[in-house]
Amino acid sequence: MPVESASELKRKDVVGIAPLEPAEIQLILDTAEELLEVARRPIKKVPVLRGATVVNLFMEPSTRTRFSFEMAEKRLSADTLNFSASTSSVSKGETLVDTARNLMAMAPDYIVIRHPNVGAPHRLAEVVPASIINAGDGINEHPTQALLDAFTMRQHFGRLEGLNVVIAGDIRHSRVARSNAFLLNKMGASLRFAAPASLLPAGVEELGAETFLRLEPALEGADVVMMLRIQRERQAAVNFPSAREYYDFFALTEERLALAAPHAVVMHPGPMNRGVEIDSAVADGARSLILDQVTNGVAIRMAILYLLAGGRGAATADS
Amino acid sequence: MRRLLIRNGRVVDPSQGLDQGMDVLLEDGKVARIGERIRVKAETPVLDAAKLVVAPGFIDLNAHLCEPGYEHRETIASGCRAAVAGGFTAVCCCADTKPVNDEPSVTAFILERARDAALARVYPVGAVSHGLAGTELAEIGEMVRAGAVAVGDPGPVANALLMRRALEYARSFGIPVASHAENVSLSDGGLMHEGVVSTRIGLRGMPAAAEEVVVARDLMLARLTSGRLHLRHLSTAGSLELVRAAKAEGLAVTCEVAPHHFSLTDEDLAGATYNSDWKVNPPLRSADHLEAVKQALYDGTVDAIASDHTPQHRDDKELDFSEAPSGAVGLETAVSLAVDRLVHGKVIGIGRLVRLFSIGPAQAFGLPGGTLRPGSPADVTILDLRRRVTVDPKSFRSRSRNTPFAGIKLRGAPVVTIVGGRIAWRAEG
């Protein structure tokens, strides 16, 4: 049974997928679908957030997520301010809570935050009146990524429930895997993880996935194969031997993709390590939805900004 | 002659197998007599302890008093005020001061400050390694001569050879070596107990095995060296099982547990929105480990309940969970938590509770006290098992307020703390 859509998002913040109800996820996806239309207009802008201020607080390097949020904010006519780790006072030893209190003096309506520390958005949400949107907190959650992934799957297959989704790679350090797991479980998809045990978290069953220690058996009958970036910058050298060996056993190649369902599609949250976790032939192949994910990311972020505003006017209204 | 008669109390003293209504007469800093209806001259002060438990003074084996060097968190005076208000007559303080207590002048300084405070007894625990660096032995003999009662780095000692040599060397001075059992490479930057809850809330976990492998190592070294080993704040089922087996074998090992490890689990941490007051090391474990801690308290595997009082400044605890330092203050909550969770929670009886706070810790570190035998120090802790208290950090005598217990209601509390025959603290109302 498809999940019914909620009529509104009854919350101040989107700090993760974990707290969201299935009906709220459905609402975000439905709203994003309507907002996707804005990108096809000659003037790609609607005035629904005119006069609203959004602070983009990026305490960890990010290009695509930051650009995607900024584009979403601009398409909704919001005013945006960008803070990043290199320019902010956080590097001078200010606590996050202090930074937030200072920002509040500027009375923003939204704070989009990416932070290396797990729970930073949650704590911010408790101390400031602005709406907090989590753009990735440490290894915990990346809710907008999971929503755009789900949107992309739904767009392609027309549904989420019953889909067989494989997520492969560094599950233990991946907020994308975690947010996707929470979301896909709530929406009735069936989830598999494929990774060596050194890249799986303790108590992985808590994430509601069937676990495979090799990629090949996980791929059988898969509708969606999502490859995760092997985050070499966060990896101690003990978690897997080398990029070369990783490619040998765990990369998605055309041969391995042939083990999935004939109609299977390939996704990747980016940025990709070509030749490590994914072969270029697959990444750029006909079954890749990787660029759709990027396009859909803007619509998802517009939907969240819009819904948190309490729905000022119809989503597609242009005046 | 300075006298005090404690009248009509329920005297619970496991060192003598006592649990009965009796009077206790203190005289010139010693326990003079213990018996029924002791008669004294009219001018002798009398403390009515009817309906109260009269116990040997409680001893805390593990508190960070932070002085010298970190007086913004705690001083020896504020720590002693917290100790007596929590029912402790004696506190063993850790070596993580600045400068580190790894040589006799620091040991002597701590004792001098404690004399000035003149509240609780303070027993310094020296560092086992010079500068807590884990590479060279600290001046163990010199510190013992200056008054140290044990040695042990407050953090993990990665170097097994140093641990071996310390256990051997300390034998000459008759003191135990206290170990914070943790393999840091296995902890791998973990912020909480590794398990289903860490996976659910996305915080990096440290496995129970990070503690257990070092407990196993240290027990084998104790066997190898015939040294006296004390294991600090054990928190896992596996650690306690290892200690149980070592004691059955007859090794000279003692261990302590901290109140938060029999009161809170990782689920409680998960409910606290990444608030670093719930961040302690060893971390709050899962419910099965908590049950194992209770079982070990019940079956006698555990020798002492120690507060692991770790003051942290508010500015530091306001940092994000991953950056904030570990630790919770405990001197002013330990006894109430133990009475509430263990005695009223029907895990142990009052006799065992008193043992875990008195003769148990006294024997672990070879301290005077822990008993009301005539001739012993006149240190007495008086408890009201029915008194209801609400944990209010604002009322703490400690300089720090970092506790995961704020606002919780507990039944049972210390009401009078007597050190050397003098009333050091008395509950209001």
What's the pLDDT band for A232 if we cut at 50, 70, 90? low
A207 CB neighbours in chain B (<8 A) are 199-200
Instruction: Answer whether B202 sits within 8 Å of A115, measured CB to CB.
Output: no
What is the rounded average pLDDT of the residues B169-192? 97
pLDDT of the residue at A312: 39
Structure tokens at B352: 């065992």
pLDDT tens sequence across A188-201: 999 999 999 989 99
B203 CB neighbours in chain A (<8 A) are 118-119, 140
Q: Is the pLDDT of residue B31 over 80?
A: yes
Q: Which of residues 107-146 of A touch B (CB under 8 A)?
A: 115-120, 122-123, 126, 137-141
Instruction: Answer whether B201 sits within 8 Å of A204, measured CB to CB.
Output: no
pLDDT of the residue at A87: 55
Please calculate the CA angle A148-A149-A154 and round it to the nearest 5 degrees. 95
A240 compared with A265, residue with greater pLDDT: A265
A201 CB neighbours in chain B (<8 A) are 198-199, 205
Chain A to chain B Cβ contacts (< 8 Å): 77
B273 CB neighbours in chain A (<8 A) are 119, 122-123, 126
Instruction: Answer whether B320 sits within 8 Å of A236, measured CB to CB.
Output: no
Q: Dmax of chain A from CA atoms?
A: 57
Q: Between A123, A175, A206, which is nearest B320 by CB?
A: A123
Q: Does A178 touch chain B (CB under 8 A)?
A: yes
Which of B184, B185, B198, B274 is most worth mutating to test chain A (most A CB atoms within 10 A of its CB)? B274
pLDDT tens sequence across B365-382: 999 999 999 999 999 999
pLDDT tens sequence across A1-10: 678 888 899 8
pLDDT tens sequence across A83-135: 887 655 555 567 777 887 888 888 899 999 999 999 999 999 998 999 999 99
Structure tokens at B211: 């503690």
Q: Which of residues 27-86 of A touch B (CB under 8 A)?
A: none
pLDDT of the residue at B233: 98
Q: Does B312 touch chain A (CB under 8 A)?
A: no
This complex has an ipTM of 0.82
Angle of helix B287-299 relative to helix B350-357, nearest 10 degrees? 90
Distance CA A249, CA A48 (A): 49
pLDDT of the residue at A38: 86
What is the rounded average pLDDT of the residues B388-398? 98
pLDDT of the residue at A318: 41
Instruction: Answer whether B322 sits within 8 Å of A202, measured CB to CB.
Output: no
pLDDT tens sequence across A151-184: 999 999 999 999 999 999 999 999 999 999 999 9
Q: What DSSP assignment string belongs to chain A?
A: -PPPPPSS---S-B--STT--HHHHHHHHHHHHHHGGGGGSSS----TTTT-EEEEEE-S--SHHHHHHHHHHHHTT-EEEEEETTTSGGGGT--HHHHHHHHHTT--SEEEEEESSTTHHHHHHHH-SSEEEEEEETTTB-HHHHHHHHHHHHHHHS--TT-EEEEES--TT-HHHHHHHHHHHHTT-EEEEE--GGGS-TTGGGG--EEESSHHHHHTT-SEEEEPP--GGG--TTSSS-HHHHHHHH-B-HHHHTTS-TT-EEE--S---BTTTB-HHHHTSTTB-HHHHHHHHHHHHHHHHHHHTT--S-TT---
Distance CA A261, CA B233 (A): 53
Residue numbers of B annotated as active site: 308
Q: Does B322 touch chain A (CB under 8 A)?
A: yes
Least confident of A45-49, B267-271, B397-401: A45-49
Q: Is the pLDDT of residue B153 over 90?
A: yes
> Is the distance from CB of B6 to CB of B36 less than 8 angstroms?
no
Residue with tokens 């547990």: B257
What's the pLDDT band for A314 if we cut at 50, 70, 90? very low
Residue with tokens 């400050």: B113
pLDDT of the residue at A233: 55
Q: Does A19 touch chain B (CB under 8 A)?
A: no
